[in-house]
Every structure is written in C-alpha cells, then in structure tokens.
Structure 1
C-alpha cells in the first residue's frame, strides 16, 4: 500500500509539471530588425532625380512574407542564425495612405544576417531603379532641351521654367490660375506615346509638386470631330503649400482608354475655396514603365 501511495504521488507530480508546461509553454525570444529609411540612387542623366517618398517597407524573411511596416520600423523575427532578409520599398499609390503598395520599379534590398535572440540588427536599406525600368520622359526643367508639356488645350497660361520657388537644382515648372481670366488650365505633352504596356502592365507617373489648387492627371487621345480630344483623368493631388512627391499609378487608367496613341496631360482648376490667383509648381516629372 505504501508503494502504491508513492507511485500515485509521483504520477501526480509528473502530471502537475506537464500541465504547467501546457498552460505556460516556454515562449520563443525573437531577434529584432531595426529598419531605417531607404535611400535611392539614380544614374545621372538617364534616370533623373534621386528624390523618393518610400513610406513603408515590405519584409520577407527566408522567402516568407512577414508584414508591411511604416518606416522607420522595429520588426520582431522568430529566427536565429543566418537568415535571408529581403526588403521591398513601399509607396502609396496616388498618394493615398490606404493604398500602400510595393513600387514595382525599385530594386529590393537583400541581405543575409546572423540573427540572435533578443538582439537588434540595424539595416540601412538602399535601392535603385530596376534595369528593366524604362523612362518614356523625364521633365526636370534643368536644361535647354525642348519642354515636354507644351500643348495648351485649355486656359491661357503655359507651363514655364522658374527660379522663384525651386524644389531642387536651378529650375522648376510653374503656371498660374486666375478666377477672372483662366480658372481652368489643361496642358498635355507635345509628343504622342504608345505601347507603354507592351513590356508589362505597370505605368507610373512620378511628380514633385507644390500647389494652391487641385490638379488631375491622365491621358488625352483620339480627338472627337465635334467634342474635341477625349480625356481620361483620374488620379490627382489637392492643394499643398509644401513640396511633396506623389506616385501616380496610371496602369488601369491607360488600359481602360484603349488608345493607340495618347498624350499625357493634366488639368488644374480653381475650387470655390481656392485663392483667386493660384500657383502650381512642378518638378521631376517621370513617366516610368517596363
């Protein structure tokens, strides 16, 4: 009987220890990635400005997607030892915070790190344009080449170079709206484009801007004999009194137009709350595709 009680006591102890392990299992201790802002490097003369607005990072660990994080980010990783990290540069399609996406024309940043539990690895990611990225045009207003946006469709003011308020370099582009004389201005590229989606679906327009009035962007093509040019404008920006950058995703818009040839255009207009005289400043306009 005494041995039986000892056996029951031993079994009770084993059960108690096992139950504790089930209720309070030992937790893994993560390593951490401290990810700082991206830097962009461009090829002088062929890719334009190195200004970027990379706001998020998409993190992949050993090929598995871990999550998207606002930059700068501190990311826990349940890995130890040599680990392959891939970071994709994230932007906001059309400047909308609820439409984050990987920018398809930037190279991913890759690094292999020896991760250790409860230690932090610092990453300063860099990127560049993919070698497959093509630039249909770059308008930076910096030289004496013919200007890109010269077809004045509506209004009485042209897009001109200015040194009065410059984003970077020596010049930016400027035009004005006037409630009395020119409340709407529409300007398109002097040249026609075609086949931008032959190498891939993505077509983006990068723009630096500072504006007192809203501006919408898109495509103009196939003039109607009576109504004139057909316009497809969709993404745009609102008034902003500080320089900003935006990535316009024109992929779906261009696909929907079914134009064989088209101009890239924009339309600016005064709202009721806009100043009677409004100024729009533009710089580093890039049309990028594959």
Structure 2
C-alpha cells in the first residue's frame, strides 16, 4: 500500500513539474509584434533615378524561419528569443498594378539585421518598432538600370510615333510636378504630359533609343510615376534581327487622380524573341468622350532588370 501511495505522490509531483515547465515555456513564447510602418530605398539619383518606391507587401523571416507575407503597413506577431535575433525582410510590390499579383521585388536587396529583444514583463504583448535604418535598402548590385526619362534635362528621350496626333511635352507648372513623398529633398524637376482632345484624340510616344534587354524569362521592369484622367497602354516595339518591327501591348493602366507608382513587368514580351532583339518602350492613350481635355502625366521612367 505504501508503495502505491509513493508512486501516486511521485506521479503528482512529476505532473506538477511538467505543467509548471509547460507554463513557463508558454510564457517565454509570448508573441511580439513587429511594427513595420514603411520601407525605403536609397539611390544615386543621377545613375539610378528616383528613390521613390511603392512597397505594398513585406515577406518576413525570423531566425531563419519564414513567417509569411504581410500587407504594408505591417504589424505581424512573431516569436523572438530573449536576447539576439536575426530579422530578414523582403520587399514586395504590386506587379502591374494588380492587387492579386504581389511579388518580391527581386531587383532590390533584402534587408537583414540582428536585434536584441528584452521582454518587458508586462501582461500585454510587446511591440518592437523597426527604425528607418532597419527598413531601408537599395537596388541589388546585380541590377541594371536604364533611366528612360526624368524630364529634368534638356531635350526629350520620347518622341511621337507616326500614328500619334500629338506629342509629349514638359509641364512648366510646378503644381503638376511629381514630388517624392519619401524624400521631399529629391530634385525631381519637371514632368512630361500627353494631352488629348476631340481633334487630337490619339497620343502615342516611344523612346528615341532602343535597348538590349534580357530574354529567357528574365524579369524586366518598367518603373514609372504617373497620374491621368484617361486610360493608357504601355508596351514594347521590338526590332528583330531580320529587320521586322513588331509592336506589342503589355498592360492597360486605369486613370489615377493622384501621382501613383507602377511596376510593369515586360517579361512576356522580351521573352518572345531569341534573335538579338532590341526594344523601344511605347506609351499610348485615347481621348475619352465627355472630357474636354484628356491628360497623362509621366515622370521617372526607368527600366530595371
């Protein structure tokens, strides 16, 4: 009988110890909220163009473990070790302006840093706010950047095509110009504008220069800032090695009242040819009934691949 009671007492003590350890373990694994308000990119303006980015999603890793993708601004719950932790952030964009097509922007460096977590001891979950330096990156060293047009310099690198009723011009009105909200000190200068009306109802411009772009299903992005009251189309004019010219539309873009940033992936078009093709970029817009004047404002156009 004594042995039976001894076994029962031992089991009770073991169970109590196990539950206590489990409770302590749970308390040690209380989630911490990471506050990621915005993400920034630094650039050499003369070589890489504007630093303005529209990072809409962040992919998060903590201590080598993938946590998931989160819409910006993000406050994901994570489990941190008491003491040192390694955080990695991948910047995500809305591809082609389509909310359902979010992807890691593979032309930017991911962000990685070590941070120390000291539990506050409060009942509520702790929040760790990432400072700007922990949310700032740059173009990856392997990225190639072709600045198509900033409208800051003399002349224009876009010209009207033979089918266009109107040309692109520079706006001299400062209230029209794009200003980088992430860096108001950035010298963006002027912007370009296409106007349409009932007598000049089709506008189409293309780059003066042609560009050698990679094929084989490699991503080629057209970055640009724009605002408009009419839809526009963006695409490529391919010059094949046999001397033929083919024009392909990539994306239709809806009007936006305020300045917006878009990333147009040209991979489908640039992967259609394997014979040393060069490409021009074109932008077109048609006048819409009910409008006296249609407009498309453009700035900071660049190819990144």
TM range (shorter): 0.7 to 0.9
1:121 alignment counterpart: 128
- Distance in structure 2 (CA, Å) of the matches to 1:100 and 1:285: 21
CA RMSD of aligned residues (A): 2.9
1:185 to 200, 203, 213: 203
- Quote the residue 1:241 is aligned against: 257
CA–CA distance in structure 1, aligned partners of residues 251 and 151 of structure 2: 23
Q: What's the counterpart of residue 250 of structure 1?
A: 266
**Which structure has more strand as a fraction of its residues?**
1
Aligned to 2:5: 6
2:190 corresponds to which residue?
171
Q: Does 1:162 align with 2:164?
A: no
1:99-110 → structure 2 map (5 Å cutoff): 99-110=101-112
Residue of structure 2 equivalent to 1:85: 87
**2:45 matched to which residue of 1?**
44
Q: Contact 2:49/2:147 (CA < 8 Å) preserved in 1? A: no
CA contact (8 A) 2:220 2:267 kept: yes
1:220: which partner in 2?
237
Q: Equivalents in 1 of 2:98, 2:190: separation in Å?
A: 28
Q: Displacement of 1:4 after TM fit?
A: 7.0
**What stretches of structure 1 of length at least 5 have no aligned partner?**
none
Separation in structure 1 between the aligned mates of residue 61 and residue 5 of structure 2, nearest angstrom: 54
State the partner residue of 2:220.
203
Shift of the 9–217 alpha-carbon distance from structure 1 to 2, 3 Å rule, reads same
Q: How many residues align?
A: 280
Which whole-Å CA distance do the structure 1 matches of 2:101 and 2:272 have between them?
20
CA distance in 1, matches of 2:217, 2:140: 13
The CA distance in 2 between the partners of 1:6 and 1:130, in whole Å, is 69
**Distance change (3 Å), C-alpha of 1:65 and 1:185:** same
C-alpha spacing 1:122/1:200, structure 2 compared with 1 (3 Å): farther
In the alignment, structure 1 residue 97 sits paired with structure 2 residue 108: no
Q: Name the residue aligned to 2:299.
A: 283
Q: CA deviation at 1:53?
A: 0.9
User: Counterpart in 2 of 1:149?
Assistant: 158
> Cα 1:29–1:237, aligned 2, differ >3 Å: closer, same or farther?
same
Q: 1:16 to 1:104 in 2, by over 3 A?
A: closer
Match of 2:142 among 112, 127, 132: 132
Distance 1:33 1:262, change over 3 A: same
| Structure 2, gaps ≥5 residues long | 120-124, 180-187
